[in-house]
Amino acid sequence: MPAATKFLIPQFTLAHFSFHVCTGVLIPLLPVMRESLGLSYFQSGLLVSFYTIAYGIGQLPMAMLADRFSSRLIIIWGLIVLSLTGIGVSFTRSFGQMAPFFIAMGVISATYHALATSFISQIFSTQKRGRALGFHHTGGSASFLLTPAMALGVAYLFNTWRAPFFILSFPALMVGITMLLTTAEVQGDVEVPSGRGGDSGPGNIENESADKKEQPKPWSQIIYALGIIAFLSVTVQLFSSGVRSYLPLYMVDRHGISPQLAGLVISLIAGSGIIGSPLGGALSDRFGRKKVILFSLSLSGPLLLAVTRAPYGILLLILLPLYGMTMSVRMPSMLSLIADVVPVGRRTTVMGVYFL
């Protein structure tokens, strides 16, 4: 592997961490913001929806741009502009003022996940792709583990929810500038062999440069190859994301936890990805993508039901990270499956559709 790519995964893992530090403060702060601004449940949910819907809508155009131009530069400038929108939120004083910033933050956020995942997938062979993507996802998981505590700690220290938006937006700015200066060579280094073929095992390896010279697969062939498993994964993820968005409010109203502490439950779910993401990626490399995805999907429903039935205590604190692991195990497996099936010229676009 060329020298310029040796530290690519650590750099992107740090970028993933800083990305979610910037965008991850909203949900743990929702109970505090609701109390401070007098927001209703509907308004609280709208703030999350403004971000997530804009994030989804932005996926496809950003991915199509990346397939035609420099995904590296789009990722880097996305991190820089994202940090500026987070800082902008800290200066708002009402629901109406916040809404445009969360919409802008959502659109800019679409410059990261699909682009970074596709970029990384071009560097690693199919035998190592799951582990590489799994390690990259630990950056996001570590952020979800630490961001609620950091956000609530900064809010408590400065006695305002605005301080976390301002202070925790700076890591993305710093990482973006650093990557702009240190990754200039990487764009031309993507020549490492990469396999395709979905659930195939070792030995089915071709060179990515050969992929680029191939005629693109018809969309019908790509859709058929991903099939029902992609539909099931996306559907379950929709429900899981909705549950996670309202979880801090649910913990306040269902179990009587204080608003200042309720945001920490996000750490138990998303932080479990520090174990789940590399485990899922490694298992998918070893046993096949589809087997790991289906196993994860089969556990999601029963574990969510158990979370809603468990009383507050040790059992609930065990069930929450287990439920979170069903999501984190599935993500690198599904993204590796897409990378195995879809040629380079259309890979980022398909990744964008998946994240949409």
Q: What is the DSSP letter of 168?
A: T
- Which of 23-37, 203-217, 234-248, 296-310 has the weakest average pLDDT? 203-217
pLDDT the model gives residue 216: 60
**Better-predicted residue by pLDDT, 220 or 153:** 153
Please say whether the dihedral angle defined by the alpha carbons of residues 263, 268, 274 and 280, taken in this order, is positive or negative. negative
Entry pTM = 0.71
**Which backbone phi and psi does 143 adopt, to 5 degrees?**
-65, -45
- Grouping H, G, I as helix, E, B as strand and the rest as coil, residue 200 is coil
Question: Which stretch of 68-77, 148-157, 202-211, 261-270 has the lowest confidence by average pLDDT?
Answer: 202-211
> How far apart, in whole angstroms, are the C-alpha atoms of residue 134 and residue 282?
8
Confidence of residue 11 (pLDDT cuts 50, 70, 90): confident
Distances (CA, A) of 300 to 233, 261, 273, 274, 281: 11, 25, 15, 18, 18
Please calculate the CA angle 45-43-166 and round it to the nearest 5 degrees. Answer: 80
- 217 pLDDT tier (thresholds 50, 70, 90): low
354, 64, 57, 56: which is closest to 226 by C-alpha?
354
- pLDDT for 36-91, tens place per residue? 888 888 888 899 899 989 998 898 888 888 777 778 889 999 999 999 999 999 99
The pLDDT of 244-258, averaged and rounded, is 80
Q: Is the pLDDT of residue 192 over 80?
A: no
Mean pLDDT of the chain: 81
Distances from the Cα of 275 to the Cαs of 42, 139, 270, in angstroms?
34, 11, 10
Which of 14-18, 137-141, 161-165 shows the lowest per-residue confidence on average (mean pLDDT)?
137-141
Q: What 8-state DSSP symbol labels residue 195?
A: E
CA distances in angstroms from 202 to 195, 197, 226, listed in the order given: 9, 11, 19
CA-wise closest residue to 126 among 254, 238, 296, 288: 288
Contact between residue 199 and residue 290 where contact means Cβ atoms under 8 Å apart = yes
> How far is 26 from 29, CA to CA, in rounded Å?
5
Mean pLDDT of 144-172: 91
Identify the pLDDT of residue 37. 86
Task: Enumerate residues 6+ apart whose C-beta is below 8 A from 253.
Answer: none
Cβ atoms of 293 and 337 closer than 8 Å: yes
Residue 260's pLDDT band (cuts 50, 70, 90): low
Q: Is the pLDDT of residue 135 over 80?
A: yes
Q: Is the pLDDT of residue 1 over 70?
A: no
Would you call 1 exposed, middle or buried from its count of C-beta atoms within 10 A (0-12, 13-18, 19+)?
exposed
- pLDDT at residue 19, rounded to an integer: 93
Query: Does the pLDDT at position 207 exceed 70?
Result: no
